[in-house]
Amino acid sequence: MSEKEIKNLEAIFEARIARDEKIEPKDWMPEKYRQTHIRQISQHAHSEVVGMLPEGNWITRAPSLRRKAALLAKVQDEAGHGLYLYSACETLGISRDELYEQLHSGKAKYSSIFNYPTVTWADMGAIGWLVDGAAIINQVPLCNTSFGPYARAMVRVCKEESFHQRQGYEIMLTLCKGTPEQKAMAQDALNRWWWPSLMMLGPTDAASVHTEQSMKWKLKRKTNDELRQQFIDQTVPQADLLGLTIPDPDLKFNEKTGHYDFGAIDWDEFWQVVKGHGPCNKERMNARVSAWENGAWVRDAAMAYAEKQENKKVAKAS
Amino acid sequence: MKNENLYNYILGIADNSLILGQRLGELCGHGPNLETDIAMTNINLDLIGQARSYYQYAGKLTGQDKSEDDIAFLRLEREYRNVLLVEQPNTHFGYVMVRQFLFDMFHFMLMEKLQHSKDETLVAIANKGIKEVSYHKRFSSDWIKRLGDGTAESNAKIQEAINDLWRFTDEFFQLTEADKAMVEVGIGVDVSKLKEDYYKKVSEVLEEATLQTPENKYFTKGGKEGLHTEHMGYILAELQYMQRTFPNMTW
């Protein structure tokens, strides 16, 4: 294809996005669009799958059968999200095995929040309330993103995430209405998860390398700082309702702006965790790699069996 | 307790679901691929759901207003009535599937008969449960065939698991005092009568999977009488951790 033809295709492509048309897998797309989407969708899929680990950590110790069932169902939803996000990603011409390979080699990233440990039951509440809450803020705009398979997957993901968030808040509410020990457990969880949740919305706009291009392709509709402010404004009244204190002495409602002002985020900690030196980065990666390696003989057997069955069918037919 | 035999009979069924669910709960997020993770979480959810229905019913029989959680979490090890098979560890995926398969085949037959119990509540639970268990049985049988007739490595691994876990199968068919009393009044299932058919059906699947049915005639028992393997204490330590550390709280 000549350079002029490519330029022409690019112009048509950008015009379609500007008209809010969906781009489908078989449509022509610039290579950079394809690569950016592979990166973002797979990062999202990896986050779902790695995210199963910190919550999976409490399944055997859930304090009641009702909570055990709800937690199981939640972690199962995350596996489901992983599955359809990987499928959406595969439509861009990359296989699930290649995507796993990128995760296991450290080439692909996942959300850093899952590198923090879940040390008490209240963390199941805090994750649902704060982590899923921040995720929803990130993800709702993606239901209208330009790439069709991703947008459609996100509609379902967001519905389930919103259910998880309510469930998490309800765990916190139960703890806060409970004994002083339970309330202290809830406060401790909020203290530990608050700042990492704010970091989840990404580096400040000044430090974000992908924002500009992503805004153009509608992979992003608001900047990281705008989303963070939205999250804080929405979450502070919820903490008040629980009777919990947000661990930020500088947090204060600003009458002039109509938003909460908040203290400085420790970006050194953020980059430390992103670069692989958070409290659980090694454990999370080891768990994923071992699950994959220990499962190799099972996947091989399934393939071999399917092949044998296929051969039998062919033999019968001939 | 007026209905002590019925209470113990129910626990004998419910505890299998609870403890097997607890073992499956350890695996969530660690399966060989996402599809099996999702499927096995489904099975786990079914089992926990069944256990809850049984415990809610059993709670009413105690006359002390015991909740499902009181019964599930606050007994001593010797008071759990599950068979030894379900408490065996997740040594590798082959063990997980063989444990599931050997249990599902029995569980399905038990549910079939329980549908004809004279106890309406048990009939209702069995009517719902059999649909779930029929899926469990299909899932685990399919995996036995895949792994048995897959590669040489998978065949060896699954055969090892079968040979190891076989000794726990005879316990399904033993009757406790509570079982006998419940069989007598038409509420309980006479599991001893399921034995022949069970081994026949299990062997059929193993044969199709190109696996050997063990000839071992030495079996282990005790779970139904509350005498468990050394694994059980650790299972309960996790299961009961929150309820024991923070007694009498609402979660």
Assign A208 a pLDDT band (cuts: 50, 70, 90).
confident
Write the pLDDT tens digit of every residue in A80-111: 999 999 999 999 999 999 999 999 999 999 99
Q: What is the DSSP letter of A107?
A: S
In 3D space, the residue among B53, B15, B8 whose CA is nearest the CA of residue B232 turns out to be B15
Q: What is the DSSP string of B157-207?
A: HHHHHHHHHGGGSGGGG---HHHHHHHHTTSS--GGGGHHHHHHHHHHHHH
CB contact under 8 A, B92 and A308: no
- Give me chain B's average pLDDT, please: 97
**Which two tokens mark B209?**
């999977």
Assign A217 a pLDDT band (cuts: 50, 70, 90).
confident
Distance in Å, alpha carbon of B112 to nearest chain A alpha carbon: 25
CB contact under 8 A, B31 and A290: no
What is the per-residue pLDDT for A263?
A: 98
CB contact under 8 A, A76 and B242: no
Write the pLDDT tens digit of every residue in B139-187: 999 999 999 999 999 999 999 999 999 999 999 999 999 999 999 999 9
Question: Would you give the end-to-end CA distance of chain B in angstroms?
Answer: 28
Q: Considering only alpha carbons, which residue of chain A is nearest residue B235?
A: A60
Residue B231 CB burial class (10 angstroms; 0-12, 13-18, ≥19):
middle
CB contact under 8 A, A63 and B246: yes
- Pairs of CB atoms within 8 A across A/B: 141
Write the pLDDT tens digit of every residue in A235-253: 999 999 999 999 999 999 9
CA distances from residue A18 to A21, A92, A256 in whole angstroms, order as listed: 8, 21, 35
What is the per-residue pLDDT for A216?
A: 84
Distance in Å, alpha carbon of A60 to nearest chain B alpha carbon: 6
Would an 8 Å CB–CB cutoff place B33 in contact with chain A?
Answer: yes
pLDDT at residue B5 greater than cutoff 90: yes
Chain B CB contacts of A79 below 8 Å: 29, 34, 37-38, 41
Q: How many CB atoms lie within 10 A of CB B193?
A: 12
CB contact under 8 A, B38 and A298: no
B4-213+220-245 is classed in which CATH architecture?
A: Up-down Bundle (1.20)
What average pLDDT does the segment A285-310 reach? 96
Taking the C-alpha atoms of residue B82 and residue B72, their distance in angstroms, rounded to an integer, is 12
Q: Which residues are CB-contacts of B2 (< 8 A; sequence separation ≥ 6)? A: B61, B63
Q: Enumerate long-range contacts of A244-248, CB under 8 Å, 24 or more apart.
A: A244/A172, A244/A176, A244/A183, A244/A186, A244/A187, A244/A190, A245/A187, A245/A190, A246/A190, A246/A194, A247/A190, A247/A191, A247/A194, A247/A195, A248/A194
What is the per-residue pLDDT for A209?
A: 78
Strand, coil or helix: A57: coil
Domain boundaries, given as residue ranges, for chain B = 4-213+220-245
CB contact under 8 A, A299 and B33: yes
Which of B38, B73, B150 has the CB atom closest to A304's CB atom?
B150
Q: Look-up: residue for tokens 């139904």?
A: B224
Write the pLDDT tens digit of every residue in A250-288: 999 999 999 999 999 999 999 999 999 999 999 999 999
Assign A318 a pLDDT band (cuts: 50, 70, 90).
confident
| Cβ pair B82, B18 in contact under 8 A | yes
Q: How many CB atoms lie within 10 A of CB B240?
A: 18
Q: Considering only alpha carbons, which residue of chain B is nearest residue A49?
A: B29
Write the pLDDT tens digit of every residue in B234-247: 999 999 999 999 99
Q: Considering only alpha carbons, which residue of chain A is nearest residue B18?
A: A65
CB contact under 8 A, B32 and A60: no
Assign A219 a pLDDT band (cuts: 50, 70, 90).
confident
CB contact under 8 A, B52 and A69: yes
pLDDT at residue A13 greater than cutoff 80: yes
Strand, coil or helix: A147: strand
Q: ipTM, 2 decimals?
A: 0.97
What is the per-residue pLDDT for A205?
A: 86
Q: Where are the alpha helices (DSSP H) in chain A?
A: 3-18, 31-56, 65-90, 96-105, 122-126, 132-139, 148-176, 180-200, 211-216, 224-242, 267-272, 281-294, 296-317
Write the pLDDT tens digit of every residue in A156-172: 999 999 999 999 999 99
Q: How many CB atoms lie within 10 A of CB B153?
A: 15
Chain A CB contacts of B93 below 8 Å: 294-295, 297-298
What average pLDDT does the segment A63-77 reach? 97
Interior/surface letters A35-65, b for 16+ CB within 10 angstroms, e for the rest: ebbbbbbbbbbbbbbbbbbbbbbbbbbbbbb
- Give me chain A's average pLDDT, please: 95
In 3D space, the residue among A188, A195, A191 whose CA is nearest the CA of residue A228 turns out to be A195
In 3D space, the residue among A95, A108, A139, A160 whose CA is nearest the CA of residue A288 turns out to be A108
Q: Is the dihedral of CA A204, A210, A214, A216 positive or negative?
A: positive
Q: What is the DSSP string of A73-91?
A: HHHHHHHHHHHHHHHHHHT
What is the per-residue pLDDT for A265?
A: 97
CB contact under 8 A, B36 and A72: no
Q: Which of A298, A305, A308 to mutate to test the interface with B (most CBs of B within 10 A)?
A: A298
What percent of chain A is predicted at pLDDT more than 70?
100
What is the per-residue pLDDT for A210?
A: 78
Interior/surface letters B155-175, b for 16+ CB within 10 angstroms, e for the rest: bebbbebbebbbbbbbbbbbb
Q: Which of A47, A50, A58, A60 to mutate to test the interface with B (most CBs of B within 10 A)?
A: A60
pLDDT at residue A298 greater than cutoff 90: yes
Chain B CB contacts of A296 below 8 Å: 32
CB contact under 8 A, B150 and A82: no
Q: How many CB atoms lie within 10 A of CB A257?
A: 9
CB contact under 8 A, A179 and B151: no
**Which two tokens mark A102?**
């990128």
Q: How many CB atoms lie within 10 A of CB B37?
A: 27
pLDDT at residue A55 greater than cutoff 90: yes
Q: How many CB atoms lie within 10 A of CB B47?
A: 29
